[in-house]
């Protein structure tokens, strides 16, 4: 099981919920926990990766992370990422392959992050919404102040993207 | 934009939510909509794919679908899928690559399905929880009664898995 060391449950699995299956329409009535599905794009320029800084006024303000955002109801993940990159960076991006999905829990909120390749885009990424941008090497990134959801999954992300 | 025809929003995107980004910790306070992240495994035997029938007592009872289930809080997607395949099919599966992620809305509930390759497993898949199993060809599958969340995404799934 190649991924089992990263996947150990932090909470006891509720076996009552195991009957739900791949279309997942059964409401999560037994749990008040919420999931937030998020898409993130890995933009590379040579051996540098684009990261952005969260606005100070936001949760986890000042931290650096891969660019992305929430999937809105009714969007495909690829459509959501293209929209977010347009809104946040002012670029028209062609979304590539989905490489990896990572989970992280902040208390009773579960974050599911889908990481996509972004190989081509039109325009030069420019910070919107008062955030800053930086191009960093894979080696430098861990020295920056990054969210726990990114740090704990960094080895898997680097492997998936050959960083 | 290769995916845009499948990704057109069914609901108007709320631009107030666009500031949330890749670590997604901002609570979705503006929306009562819930997301259910689900993992599904594509098990192949020659040119046949494994599908299972939902129990009649469940939502969407009697419908056929790829085997999988909900991600529990604290699990990685791969860990969740290995657990569900153990519980539902009685097999020990080695989870392969994440190939594609699809979304579908049932009213105010959003389903996000992550489709993984399952190349190797120990044991013969056996129906647990009163479900039936079947091995079908990609050509036959659309003739079965399958959930809308699978049917609408079938072309993308087939392409991603070379079916």
Q: Shortest Cα distance from B47 to chain A (angstroms)?
A: 21
**Strand ranges inside chain B, DSSP E:** 34-45, 48-53, 64-70, 92-106, 109-122, 133-137
Comparing B32 with A123, which gets the higher pLDDT?
A123
Tell me the C-alpha to C-alpha distance, in Å, between residue B23 and each of B87, B104, B128.
31, 22, 37
pLDDT category of residue B17 using cuts at 50, 70 and 90: very low
pLDDT category of residue B58 using cuts at 50, 70 and 90: confident
Q: Average pLDDT for residues B78-101, to the nearest whole number?
A: 96
Q: What mean pLDDT, rounded, does chain B reach? A: 83
Task: Decide: B14 and B31 in contact? Cβ < 8 Å.
Answer: yes
Tell me the C-alpha to C-alpha distance, in Å, between residue A52 and each of A125, B32, B130, B157.
10, 29, 49, 32
B31 contact residues in A (CB cutoff 8 A): 73
Residue A111's pLDDT is 94
Task: Decide: A119 and A112 in contact? Cβ < 8 Å.
Answer: no
Look at residue B8 and give its three-state secondary structure: coil
Mutate to test the interface with A, among B2, B5, B24 (most CBs of A within 10 A): B24
Structure tokens at B147: 């959930």
Nearest to A22 among B28, B38, B106 (CB): B38
Residue A19 phi/psi, 5-degree rounding, is -75, -20
Residue B23's pLDDT is 52
pLDDT category of residue B130 using cuts at 50, 70 and 90: low
Q: Shortest Cα distance from B44 to chain A (angstroms)?
A: 17
Classify the complex by whether its ipTM is higher than 0.90, answering yes or no.
no
CA gap A36, A71 in Å, rounded: 8
CB contact under 8 A, A7 and B79: yes
**What's the length of chain A?**
163
Residue A159 phi/psi, 5-degree rounding, is -65, -45
CA gap B137, B48 in Å, rounded: 5
CA gap B129, B119 in Å, rounded: 24
In this structure, the strands spanning A109-122 and A34-45 are: parallel
Overall pTM > 0.90: no
Q: Which residue, B112, B108, B8, B149, is CA-closest to A98?
A: B112
Q: Which residue, A56, A33, A5, is CA-closest to A111?
A: A33
pLDDT tens, per residue, chain A with 163 residues: 333 334 444 443 333 343 344 554 444 444 567 999 999 999 999 999 999 998 888 888 889 999 999 999 999 999 999 999 999 999 999 999 999 999 999 888 999 999 999 989 999 999 887 679 999 999 999 999 999 888 999 999 999 999 9
């Amino acid at each position: 099981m190649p991924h089992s060391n990263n996947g150990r449950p932090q909470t006891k699995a509720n076996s009552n919920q195991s009957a739900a299956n791949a279309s997942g329409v059964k409401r999560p009535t037994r749990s008040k926990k919420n999931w937030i599905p998020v898409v993130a794009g890995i933009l590379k320029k040579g051996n540098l990766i684009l990261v952005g800084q969260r606005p100070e006024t936001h949760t986890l303000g000042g931290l650096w992370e891969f660019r992305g955002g929430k999937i809105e109801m009714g969007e495909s993940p690829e459509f959501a990422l293209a929209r977010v990159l347009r809104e946040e960076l002012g670029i028209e991006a062609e979304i590539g392959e989905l490489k990896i999905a990572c989970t992280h829990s902040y208390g009773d909120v579960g974050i599911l992050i889908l990481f996509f390749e972004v190989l081509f885009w039109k325009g030069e990424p420019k910070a919107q919404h008062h955030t800053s941008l930086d191009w960093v090497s894979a080696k430098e990134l861990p020295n920056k102040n990054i969210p726990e959801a990114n740090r704990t999954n960094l080895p898997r992300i680097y492997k998936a993207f050959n960083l």
